[in-house]
Amino acid sequence: MGHVPTPAAPASTAATTAASLGEPALGPLDGRYRASVAPLADHLSEAALNRRRVHVEVEWLIYLGTHDVVPGVRRLTDAEIAHLRGLPLGFDAAAVAELAEIERETVHDVKAVEYWIKRRLEGTSLADVAELVHLFCTSEDINNLSYALMVRDAVREVWSPAAHTVTDDLARTAHELRELPMLARTHGQPATPTTLGKELAVLVHRLRRQLARVDAAEHLGKFNGATGTYAAHAAAVPGTDWPAVSRAFVESLGLTWNPLTTQIESHDWQAELYADVARFGRVLHNLCTDVWTYISLGYFVQVRGQGTVGSSTMPHKVNPIRFENAEANLEVSQALFRVLEETLTTSRLQRDLTDSSMQRNIGVAFGHSLLALENVRKGLAGLDANPQALAADLDATWEVLGEAVQSVMRVHGLPNPYERLKDLTRGRRVDAQAMREFVAGLGLPEAEAERLAALTPGTYTGVAAQLVDVLGTPPGEG
């Protein structure tokens, strides 16, 4: 059997929350920011988790009824298979409520799913195979596969497209501003000029590296019983190659098989993924703080598409709230991803339940990250570069040419180049006339003297503009 895609959730099902039922929301993701993170609810909500559990249980029953794994189990018909696969597809608000009612009796979420499925087989041609539901399974066989499918699809279908969109928007801006000279500020001090586009391109390159890691992530799954030994399987049907069956089933779901586990899948792949998503967030946070600073310097003005009141009392202000909001949400998401990474990689002996509670926060971590992405995208869309401010800053800092002049002096063997430029420039402002007079008195070859005399802070950018080409063709133009 080939790859079986995970069924998509009806938006109205997985997105059902206390907030949507008119009850007060405890957290901002289910209140103020609900619309921004709603797509994730179809993958990472409690309802989505139970829908995935139904999906995995159903696919295992179908596997047993189509692969002659257990002697005597009859073959399922195409109509029966279609009926079974319709169960997760039809997992609506009424199913969520019914499952919750069953769980109040079982006090066990996965057992409640098993009973919910069995109810759906009563009075059908599948009634005779109802006891095969959850056969040989420990709860973690169902849960680990469900979480792997949930996280995989949440990243592929929601988070990663949003992250790529922001990165592509930034790449286009970098290409547009590739030639625009800007005073660099290493340690916050005037430094060798660059271009605004090149500095944004550095961030694009960093973000893309992390996205490549996220997009290449493995999503592991196990299906091997209560302590990972296939003990019940071998006791009931000793003649079957159970590791081979486990591998085939896990891979049929589109996941990577983990051959060696305790009762739980070890979650190392989750820790790796969350570390990469968090690192992407750290780079995005760096973008926010840099753009915020460029706005404060006047290098960017916020004029387009903000749709916001800048200050409640000062009409002239347009606050960089998109980037500040993104900063805060990135910090929350990174903290959650960090604790997920640290906690999920440890389980006492063969099993403890810390991972069960911890994994319920995966959606919250991705929610704050997704909210940050939306704010960065909107913030970037509201920026215009301000060439006049950039040019004014450059024209006020001719001393940054000291690096260029002393380098030429070194090449031509003139004495004490660094020290002479330090005496001229350190701790003082140097204007165009003073710099050109200094160059004229150096005794350089005429051609070199003329070239240095023509140099300005705005033209002293090296090959910064060409470096943007490292990003390749601007998105949308290839």
Residues 160 and 123 placed together within one structural domain of the fold: no
Q: What's the pLDDT at 6?
A: 55
> Of 445, 393, 436, which is closest to residue 414 (Cα–Cα)?
445
417 vs 459: CA distance, rounded Å: 22
How many whole angstroms from its chain centre is CA 364? Answer: 13
Residue 445 burial (10 A CB sphere; 0-12, 13-18, 19+)? exposed
Instruction: Give the integer Cα–Cα distance in Å for 288 and 275.
Output: 20
Residue at 1 is within a domain: no
pLDDT, the chain, mean: 91
| DSSP character at residue 361 | T
Conformational region of residue 472, where left means phi above 0, alpha means psi within -120 to 50, and beta covers everything else? left
pLDDT score at 477: 82
Mean pLDDT of 262-288: 96
Among 351, 386, 421, residue at a domain's last position: 386
- Tell me what pLDDT residue 376 has: 97
CATH number for the domain harbouring residue 118: 1.10.275.10
Same domain for 188 and 115: no
> Domain tally for the chain?
3
Segment 336-390, tens digit of pLDDT: 999 999 999 998 898 888 888 889 999 999 999 999 999 999 999 999 999 999 9
Give the CATH number for residue 414.
1.10.40.30
Q: Which domain covers residue 346, as residue numbers?
A: 143-220+250-386
* Averaged pLDDT, 154-164: 98
Report the pLDDT value the prediction gives residue 365, as an integer from 0 to 100.
Answer: 97
What pLDDT is recorded for position 317?
56
Cβ neighbours for 71, distance < 8 A, ≥ 6 positions apart: 237
Same domain, 151 and 121: no
The verdict on 34 and 99 lying in the same domain is: yes
pLDDT on residue 19: 45
Specify whether 175 is catalytic.
no
- Does residue 117 sit in the same domain as residue 194? no
- Measured CA to CA, the distance from residue 325 to residue 270 in angstroms comes to 27
Instruction: Write down which residue in 330, 352, 386 finishes a domain.
Output: 386
Counting residues of the chain whose pLDDT is more than 70, the rounded percentage is 92
More confident residue, 423 or 145: 145
pLDDT at 212 over 70: yes
Burial (CB < 10 A; 0-12, 13-18, 19+), residue 419, is exposed
pLDDT score, position 430: 83
Residue 312, pLDDT score: 47
Domain contains 391: no
| Mean pLDDT, range 233-257, rounded to an integer | 97
pLDDT at position 313, please? 52
- Of 215, 180, 208, 175, nearest to 196 by C-alpha is 180
Q: 3 lies in a domain? A: no
- E strand or H helix at 264, and its extent? none
The arithmetic mean of pLDDT across residues 38-60, rounded, is 96
Q: Are residues 182 and 49 in the same domain?
A: no
For residue 300, the model assigns a pLDDT of: 96
pLDDT confidence tier of residue 12, bands split at 50, 70 and 90: very low
Is 306 within a domain? Answer: yes
Looking at residue 139, its pLDDT comes to: 95
User: What's the CATH number where 309 sits?
Assistant: 1.20.200.10
pLDDT for the residue numbered 55: 98
For residue 20, what pLDDT is reported?
Answer: 46
Tell whether 110 and 196 lie within a shared domain.
Answer: no
The confidence score (pLDDT) of residue 14 equals 40
Query: End-to-end alpha-carbon separation of the chain, Å?
Result: 38
284 assigned to some structural domain:
yes
Confidence at 17, pLDDT banded by 50, 70, 90: very low
The pLDDT-based confidence of 1 (bands split at 50, 70, 90) is: very low
Question: Between the CA of residue 7 and those of 98, 156, 253, 254, what are the distances in Å?
Answer: 20, 14, 11, 13
Identity of residue 51: R
pLDDT tens digit string along 54-111? 999 999 999 999 999 999 999 999 999 999 999 999 999 999 999 999 999 999 999 9
* Phi and psi angles of residue 220, each rounded to the nearest 5 degrees, phi first: -90, 155
Domain assignment present for 96: yes
- Supply the pLDDT for residue 353: 83
Burial 113-125 (b: 16+ CB within 10 A, else e): bbbbbbebbeeee
Q: Tell me which of 386, 412, 442 is where a domain ends.
A: 386
- Written as one string, the DSSP assignment of 60-125 is HHHHHTTS--STTPPPPPHHHHHHHHHHHHT--HHHHHHHHHHHHHHS-HHHHHHHHHHHHHTTST
Q: Which phi and psi angles does 383 have, rounded to 5°?
A: -105, 140
Answer yes or no: do 372 and 327 share one domain: yes
Do 162 and 98 lie in one domain? The reply is: no
Annotated catalytic residue, options 187, 312, 316, 357 = 187
**Same domain (yes/no): 178, 97:** no
Question: Are 293 and 172 members of one domain?
Answer: yes
Mean pLDDT throughout 163-184?
97
Strands 256-257 and 220-221: what pairing?
parallel
Q: Is 350 among the domain residues?
A: yes
Dist CA 21 CA 420 (whole Å): 74
In order, the DSSP letters of 184-221 are EEETTEEEEEEEHHHHHHHHHHHHHHHHHHHHT---EE
For the segment 404-431, the average pLDDT, to the nearest whole number, is 86
215 and 328 inside one domain: yes
Residue 336 domain flag: yes
Q: Where are the alpha helices (DSSP H) in 304-416?
A: 321-344, 354-359, 362-381, 387-395, 402-411
pLDDT band at 26 (very low <50, low <70, confident <90, very high): confident
Task: Assign 394 a pLDDT band (cuts: 50, 70, 90).
Answer: very high
Q: What is the pLDDT of residue 16?
A: 44
Residue of 12, 125, 296, 311 marked active site: 311
**134 tagged catalytic:** no
